[in-house]
């Protein structure tokens, strides 16, 4: 299969498939969003690394720089097969855009459904010098409009990454004897020592490993707030600000920022403490917003308890989260109206 819109030879689209096991899911049998995110990133890393090494030159490994907003369209369950397909849709001088689709398959009935669509951005890092970003072989487009649209997406994500990095100084502090449904009551942290199995050939953490840990912490925050079965509904853009090296201790922290009637927004940070080879101060490596929904035993949406904000910062973050929620809701309604008119 050739790359969509490509006018000449190009890297083939790839598909990664795996059956979902009990250790991929929560106690209700729903597959963790982090498991799906990890599979999405693995497929993206394979096709982008393959493309970046498709021409003679310095060998490289593609490193994940950003994941655009990802919606979980339908839950996946234990026993189903996840089919993850990835293809390159745009290249700039130093980055690769990969679009990924995830489809669940019931191998008993043959029924299939789309569960996720994601866009990821990678940069090629030299195997000889991990701080050196190499040039990306260009792809060919069938129409000039495809390249122009890709360039527009590239500029938009570049600007958003800069804005996110500038507001990345927040920290999550422990709260003594917090009241139920407050920010302090549900906030959670996870500490993880980065080992060889977490890393790429360059000795840095796979983006998929990081996203899986982030989803795990966000899920704990949501479950503490609701005390029900919860599932990932969407993930806003995930920005990878700095590489995390093997031997680092990472702290993944999450706190609730906003609740609507049926959804929760959770902000997640990843901070890295380098202890091996190059001691330096703790730094913010990754940040993102996750959205969760609460489900009954029958899988029906349940009302979410209102988040009780106490401090001025919590109230400000709540209003910012409300703005993102309303913006996403308006965009979804516009898409539905456009689809109905077609």
pLDDT in tens, 157-209: 988 877 665 556 677 777 888 999 999 999 999 999 999 999 988 899 999 99
What is the pLDDT, as a whole number, of residue 2?
41
DSSP 166: H
| pLDDT given at position 175 | 82
pLDDT at residue 3, as a whole number: 43
CB 50 within 8 A of CB 57: no
**pTM score, whole prediction:** 0.88
Residue 11, pLDDT score: 57
Task: State the chain's maximal CA–CA distance in angstroms.
Answer: 63
What percent helix, strand, coil does the chain show, rounded to 5? 30, 35, 35
Residue 211, pLDDT score: 97
Instruction: Name every residue whose Cβ is closer than 8 Å to that of residue 116 and which is 6 or more positions away in sequence.
Output: 36, 40, 70, 71, 72, 73, 100, 101, 102
- d(CA 111, CA 103) in angstroms, rounded, equals 10
For residues 28 and 314, give the distance between their C-alpha atoms in angstroms, rounded to a whole number.
31
Burial class (CB in 10 A: 0-12, 13-18, 19+), 123: buried
Phi, psi for residue 137 in degrees, rounded to 5 = -60, 130
Q: How large is the angle between the packed helices 207-226 and 33-52, nearest 10 degrees?
A: 160
Query: Which has the closest alpha carbon to 294: 228, 214, 236?
Result: 228
Residue from 198, 215, 236, 271 carrying the catalytic annotation: 215
pLDDT at position 166: 52
Q: Rounded to an integer, what distance in angstroms lies between the CA atom of residue 276 and that of residue 273?
A: 9
pLDDT cut 70: percent of the chain above it: 93
How does DSSP classify residue 311?
Answer: S
State the DSSP string of 215-231: HHHHHHHHHHHH-SEEE
User: pLDDT tens-digit profile of 135-153?
Assistant: 999 998 989 999 999 999 9
In this prediction, the residues of the chain whose per-residue pLDDT falls under 50 are 1-9
26 as an active site residue: the answer is: yes
Dihedral sign for Cα 178, 180, 182, 187, please.
positive
Q: What is the C-alpha to C-alpha distance for residues 282 and 264, in angstroms, rounded to an integer?
A: 29
Taking the chain, what is the end-to-end CA distance rounded to the nearest angstrom? 28
Give pLDDT, residue 6. 43
pLDDT at 7: 40
Residue 328 CA, distance from chain mean position: 17
Active site residue 215: yes
- Mind listing the domains of the chain with CATH numbers? 13-138 (3.10.129.10), 183-335 (3.10.129.10)
pLDDT value at residue 172: 78
pLDDT at site 9: 44
Q: What span, in angstroms and rounded, lies between the C-alpha atoms of 141 and 47? A: 18
Q: Which alpha helices (DSSP H) does 28-90 contain, by range?
A: 33-52
């Amino acid at each position: 299969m050739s790359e969509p819109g490509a006018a000449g030879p190009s890297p083939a689209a790839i598909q990664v498939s795996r059956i979902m096991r009990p250790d991929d899911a929560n106690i209700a049998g729903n597959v963790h969003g982090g498991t799906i995110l990890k599979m999405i990133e693995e497929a993206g890393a394979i096709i982008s690394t393959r493309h970046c090494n498709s021409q003679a030159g310095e060998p490289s490994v593609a490193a994940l720089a950003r994941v655009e907003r990802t919606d979980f369209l339908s839950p996946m369950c234990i026993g189903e097969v996840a089919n993850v397909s990835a293809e390159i849709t745009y290249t700039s001088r130093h980055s690769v855009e990969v679009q990924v689709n995830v489809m669940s398959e019931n191998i008993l009935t043959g029924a299939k459904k789309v569960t996720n669509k994601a866009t990821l951005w990678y940069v090629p890092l030299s195997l000889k010098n991990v701080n050196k970003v190499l040039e990306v072989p260009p792809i060919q487009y069938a129409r000039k409009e495809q390249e122009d649209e890709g360039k527009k997406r590239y500029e938009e994500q570049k600007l958003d990454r800069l804005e996110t990095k500038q507001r990345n100084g927040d920290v999550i502090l422990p709260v003594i004897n917090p009241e139920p449904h407050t920010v302090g009551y549900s906030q959670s942290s996870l500490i993880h020592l980065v080992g060889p199995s977490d890393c790429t050939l360059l000795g840095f953490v796979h983006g998929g490993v990081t996203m899986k840990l982030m989803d795990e912490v966000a899920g704990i925050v949501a479950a503490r707030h609701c005390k029900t079965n919860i599932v990932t509904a969407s993930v806003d853009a995930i920005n990878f600000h700095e590489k995390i090296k093997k031997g680092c201790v990472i702290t993944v922290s999450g706190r609730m920022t906003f609740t609507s009637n049926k959804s929760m927004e959770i902000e997640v940070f990843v901070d890295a403490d380098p202890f091996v080879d190059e001691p330096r101060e703790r730094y913010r490596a990754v940040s993102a917003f996750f959205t969760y929904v609460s489900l009954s035993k029958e899988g029906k949406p349940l009302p979410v308890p209102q988040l009780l904000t106490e401090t001025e910062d919590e109230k400000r973050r709540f209003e910012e989260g409300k703005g993102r929620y309303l913006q996403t809701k308006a965009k979804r309604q516009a898409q539905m109206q456009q689809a109905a008119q077609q």
